[in-house]
Amino acid sequence: MNVEITRLSSGLTVVTETMPHLESVALGVWIKSGSRNETEDEHGIAHLLEHMAFKGTARRSARDIAEEIENVGGELNAATSTETTSYYARVLKDHVPLAVDILADILTESAFDEEELRREKHVILQEIGAANDTPDDIIFDRFSEAAYRGQTIGRPILGTPETVKDFTPAQIRNYLSRNYTTDRMFVVAAGAVDHGAFCKQVEERFATLPRTPSATPVLETARYIGGDVREDRDLMDAQLLIGFEGKAYHMRDFYCSQILANILGGGMSSRLFQEVREHRGLCYSVYAFHWGFSDTGIFGIHAATGGDDLPNLVPVVIDELRKAAETIDQQEIDRARAQIRAQLLMGQESPAARAGQIARQMMLYGRPIPNPEMMERLAGITTERLTDLAGRLFFDTVPTLSAVGPIEQLAPLADITTALSSPGFQTKKAAG
């Protein structure tokens, strides 16, 4: 791993991985701040800021930003998540200085013009409407809202039409000054990049970033609650999500949870896919996932099926959860490890994937994690640890359920909760 790390005098951390066989560089700025860092009246402002950064600076119009990067064949984009925000580019190696200049410009000199803000609010309102019209998107928002009811971490990242309409340039600048500071930012590049030259470019162009926040950044401690949210819609299929409190990044069982999710629903060979789809034909899509955050996590099972199949689908899923708490084969662990190892190695062949991976590890652990060390962590996972974890995850916590579509035949949450502690579960409708 040819990774170099430099902490500049400004407090900004610069990390590069040189991949000399490439002609391109993926680079970006990752900020340890996302929708969780919003105050009560800022719901959606982290995402709005990400949009507004591209809408003009003191030196460039929105069109200038787009044309300058595309004139050299480059790409520029950004993303907002619950705990992070990123702005990134991909260019040929000769155009790294231009990409650094544009990224610095949009992060230090954004104009937040009133007319641009009005137009971008309208764009985001359309984005919110599109998300609400997409059942396999909205089900995850509803799920988070139920799992962390009344908390910032459970709110949709996009915000609401009411909050978005009211934002002002002053509010955006306030969020920016509170969260976009050098102690929370990482500039990362992977590909045909020279570390020394890159550090010099970053130091020159990002010199005006504030070192400390204007006020203490907001971060409300997460409290998993669990619950039930359903939306009966006239659709062709039903979207179902059943979940439980998972593990935070730094917890001992985090990697164990990743392996368990892979065994249950990580691919076509997984238990849920084989039993629910291949053997019984109860759905066209089913998978398991585990999301980690800084102080909590979510373990979930998502399925898309016909409404008439719900009474049979849910008992089968619960039965597979129960089986996971009873027995797991070593062969399943080995297959899950092999899949994770392949993902890590394949990611090293993509500068964009590698830059993102390094940035996430720097934000979470303060250093890049070598692949051999990652695999060593996975090597300590045994069948006993996995079955013990499954028992605690699925049967010792309150479940969260969200469902959208023709869900009249979906069992009440109380019945599903009871089923998770009772053998031989069948809903009344399934039995009838």
In tens, the pLDDT along 110-168 reads 999 999 999 999 999 999 999 999 999 999 999 999 999 999 999 999 999 999 999 99
Q: Which CATH class name applies to 227-431? A: alpha beta
pLDDT in tens, 422-432: 654 443 333 33
CA 275/CA 269 separation, integer angstroms: 10
* Interval 300-324: pLDDT, tens: 999 999 999 999 999 999 999 999 9
Cα gap 120→56, rounded to integer Å:
12
Residues 6+ apart with CB under 8 A from 373: none
Decide if 59 contacts 205 (C-beta within 8 A). no
**Residue 245: active-site member:** no
- The set of residues, in sequence order, having a beta carbon less than 8 Å from that of 213 and lying 6+ positions away, is 177, 178, 179, 181, 184
What's the mean pLDDT in 29-51?
96
Confidence of residue 219 (pLDDT cuts 50, 70, 90): confident
In the chain, which residues fall in CATH 3.30.830.10? Answer: 3-205, 227-431
Q: What percentage of the chain has pLDDT greater than the value 90? A: 88
pLDDT at position 360 over 50? yes
Q: State the pLDDT confidence band at 1, using cuts at 50, 70 and 90.
A: low
Q: Does domain 3-205 have CATH number 3.50.50.60?
A: no
pLDDT at 422: 60
Q: Which of 17, 38, 42, 50 is catalytic?
A: 50
